[in-house]
Structure 1
Amino acid sequence: MPQPPQFSRIGLIGFGAFGRLIARHLSPLLPICVYDPVQTDERPRHPSLRFGSLAETAACPLVILAVPVGAMEPLCHTLAPLVRPGTWVLDVGSVKMAPADVMQRVLPPEVNLLGTHPLFGPESTRQGLAGQKIALCPLRGGRPLRLAAVLRHIFRLEVIWTTPEAHDRELATVQGLTHLIAQALNQVAPETLRMTTASFELMQQASRMVTGDAPGVLEAILRDNPFAADIRDSFLERAADLGRHPVTPRTQQSPPNAAGF
């Protein structure tokens, strides 16, 4: 079996849907201490997974912040006096510029920082993590190459190194439009349609994958990404233009001597 990462234990702050996903995949490798200020009925089901205080969780050598973007700043202020020098702190939010700014401003300079965005969720990983992607944004302390190797070789993830700005620019299109189209499709197309095409069913499948996301995820994608509004406005403008002036596809010429229809 591959060796676990160099961290002796992991602190996980936040035990919502994504926090539970993290715990399910990491707990077979390492002990995890979970802190969530909101009481939850979802109790740890693995012997290496337990709930602890914020101070206990912050004392771990790797601390994962699985909280909404809006909760990052107050959490980091509370966390700052608790984390130890050399600790790695990483977030898993859907936007990167705002959390990166908060962590760099608020957390002590002797703490290593990494922005991450797992480009998947509970719905898209029902068949496992292999082949999914994760974006890593080194903020302080360099590139954690051993952690990246664990993500690649143990979890079979595709690791993408990037910056917070480059991430948010690209994800404004990738996630912003996906959620926008999913919401619109859910409002205009009932699930009971019988005469569907393969392409339409793929659209419905994509819509179902994101409509189950927590409200905080949608808020981060559409409100906290600084580039989302421009992408959304551009898309809606072009959709309105198409509504007024539908595009006629170019007709292809039939091959010589081919029968027409």
Structure 2
Amino acid sequence: MPRHLASPPRIAIIGFGAFGQLIARHLRDHVPLCICDPQVRANDLPQVPLAAAARCQVVVLAVPLSQLEGVLRGIAPHLRPGALVADTCSVKVRPAELMRQILPAHCDLLACHPLFGPQSAATGLAGHRVAWCPLRGRGHLRAAALLRRMGLRLLPTTPEHHDREMAVVQGLTHLIARGLAGLGPLPDRLATASFRHLARAVGMVQADSPELLRTILAENPYAEPVRKQFLAAADLAARQAG
């Protein structure tokens, strides 16, 4: 059952999967938090319904892209003037479009993509990077100051530029890693340093959910042409090798 809150927390995290839990673990010592996720039954942070989460000063959306539109429609009527809403999806063009279309003009909007996950940030956030796409208002400035104090590096960009780069950075990394994983156990005893880097990439993405893989490969508008270009180049290299 949701706990009664004497005063509204400053930040609500909607979605308490692996990434929502990572955010909460590192933010809880800095700001008052609450969480909203109907699947969560036991947790020591205050749990609130969606409408209560939407009334916080900052609303962080840590949900898959497939759920984002429904969550946005659920919080829209309850957002306070000046509230900051931030998504954390792995693509940015579509979330930015949805937030601009659905959320009221009186709230500030931020599209961001933490360039790390539970595995890569297992020992802490310092030095990790976040793609930072302010969409509306100035609420993102206070959020940026907090994250910088926590040791994070913010990389200003646009949703379009982000997705163009991620089509290569994430799209091809996951494609190659999944292809290698499909070969079965990878050789280790005679592995070179370069192959060990590839094997490490395979290990880092194997735990990613099918939902995340679909977002990276299918929901990025620039991923398909990059993928086709890469596969054509690989095919040409194979034919040239005889």
Normalising by structure 1, what TM-score? 0.86
Distance in 2 (alpha carbons) for counterparts of 1:69 and 1:29: 27
Structure 2: distance between partners of 1:30 and 1:103: 24
- In the TM superposition, residue 212 of structure 1 has moved relative to its aligned partner by 1.0
Matched, 1:230 2:225: yes
Structure 1 partner of 2:121:
125
Match of 1:150 in 2: 146
Alignment equivalent of 2:185, drawn from 177, 190, 198: 190
Find the aligned partners of 1:198 and 1:238 in 2 and give their Cα distance. 24
Partner of 2:43: 44
Q: Say whether the 8 Å CA contact 2:84–2:139 is kept in structure 1.
A: no
Residue matched to 1:71: 67
Distance 2:32 2:145 in 1: 19
Alignment of 1:1-261 (within 5 A): 9-37=10-38, 39-40=39-40, 43-45=42-44, 49-142=45-138, 144-153=140-149, 155-191=150-186, 193-246=188-241
**Cα distance in structure 2, aligned partners of 1:106 and 1:145:** 22
Structure 2 SS opposite 1:139: strand
Moved over 6 A (4+): none
Q: Deviations over 1:157-209 (max 9, x none)?
A: 11100110011001110000010011001011514642211111111111111
CA distance in structure 2 between the partners assigned to 1:120 and 1:187 by the alignment: 24
Q: Percent identity?
A: 48
Specify the code of the residue in structure 1 equivalent to 2:237: L
AA aligned to 1:152 is: R
The alpha carbon displacement at 1:28 in A equals 1.2
Letter in 2 for 1:22: I
Q: How many correspondences in the alignment?
A: 235
- Structure 1 Cα separation of the partners of residues 70 and 49 of structure 2: 17
Scaled by the length of structure 2, the TM-score of the pair is: 0.92
| Aligned mates of 2:163, 2:181 — CA distance in 1 | 25
* TM-superposed deviation, 1:55: 1.4
Letter in 1 for 2:240: H
Query: Contact 2:114–2:129 at 8 Å: present in 1 too?
Result: yes
Tell me, in whole angstroms, the C-alpha distance in 1 between the residues paired with 2:233 and 2:113.
29
Kept after mapping to 2: 8 A contact 1:222/1:228: yes
**d(CA) in 2 for partners of 1:29, 1:44:** 18
Task: Give the distance between the partners of 2:26 and 2:186, measured in 1 at CA.
Answer: 32
Q: CA deviation at 1:117?
A: 0.2
CA distance in 1, matches of 2:93, 2:111: 9
CA distance in 2, matches of 1:221, 1:192: 27
Q: Structure 1 residue 143: deviation in Å?
A: 6.6
Q: How far apart are 1:149 and its partner, in Å?
A: 2.0
Q: What is the RMSD of the two structures over their aligned residues, measured on CA atoms?
A: 1.7
SS in 1 for 2:77: coil
Instruction: Point out where structure 1 has 5 or more consecutive residues left out of the alignment.
Output: 1-6, 248-261
* Contact preservation (8 Å) 2:51, 2:74: no
